[in-house]
Structure 1
Amino acid sequence: MTCTKSTLIEEISNIFDHNPSQSKEVLETLIEIIKSTLASGEDLMISGFGKFQVIEKSPRKGRNPATGEAMILEKRRVVTFKCAGKLKNKINEEI
């Protein structure tokens, strides 16, 4: 089952005994902080969880899948995630 924003809001409400609108505001604020940090090109590290990093990708050759025509894909920035050791251990203790 996928954990959605609604699920997170419900969990925050239950744990901190907030009403759902307060929990939604907290979650939306956190997401905005994460987005603005990454958009500015900064890395975001959350201890015990992992590190989000913005990587610059160079232009490269590609192919249009619909037509098969060769093309150059422009440079772009992507977000990568490296899992922290504590999270890896937590995930693997379920096996």
Structure 2
Amino acid sequence: MNKTEFINAISAKSGLSKVDTKKAVEAFVETVSEELKSGGKVALLGFGSFSVTEKSARKGVNPKTKQPIDIPARKSVKFKAGTELAETVK
């Protein structure tokens, strides 16, 4: 499901117009992004939580040349499904 299909599905289930639904989805994405950028965490009870994890620097191997490379440290977004979502998917 892409963003347009997601907006159409939410619009159909909520009874909101597609324009209002698009604004709501974009506001949700922007809010979560800003919170994660500032180092926070977003927890939606029953759905799941978004957080930022630190990945440390490590050694790796370029599979094409087999040469060792240094992989720098970075931040990564993590999503952990909530209990209700996990049970629904089972």
TM-score, normalising length: structure 2: 0.88
| Shift, 1:20, TM fit | 1.5
Q: What RMSD, in angstroms, separates the aligned Cα atoms of the two structures?
A: 1.3
Question: Which residue of 1 is the match for residue 53 of structure 2?
Answer: 55
Find the aligned partners of 1:76 and 1:52 in 2 and give their Cα distance: 17
Question: Which residue of 2 is the match for residue 20 of structure 1?
Answer: 18
Question: Which residue of 2 is the match for residue 38 of structure 1?
Answer: 36
What percentage of residue pairs aligned between the two structures are identical? Answer: 32
Q: Give structure 1 stretches of 5+ with no counterpart.
A: none
| Shift, 1:21, TM fit | 1.7
Q: Which amino acid aligns with 1:90?
A: T
Find the aligned partners of 1:73 and 1:81 in 2 and give their Cα distance: 23
Find the aligned partners of 1:44 and 1:16 in 2 and give their Cα distance: 23
Q: Which amino acid aligns with 2:24?
A: V
Find the aligned partners of 1:36 and 1:65 in 2 and give their Cα distance: 35
Find the aligned partners of 2:15 and 2:87 in 1 and give their Cα distance: 29
Find the aligned partners of 2:17 and 2:83 in 1 and give their Cα distance: 34
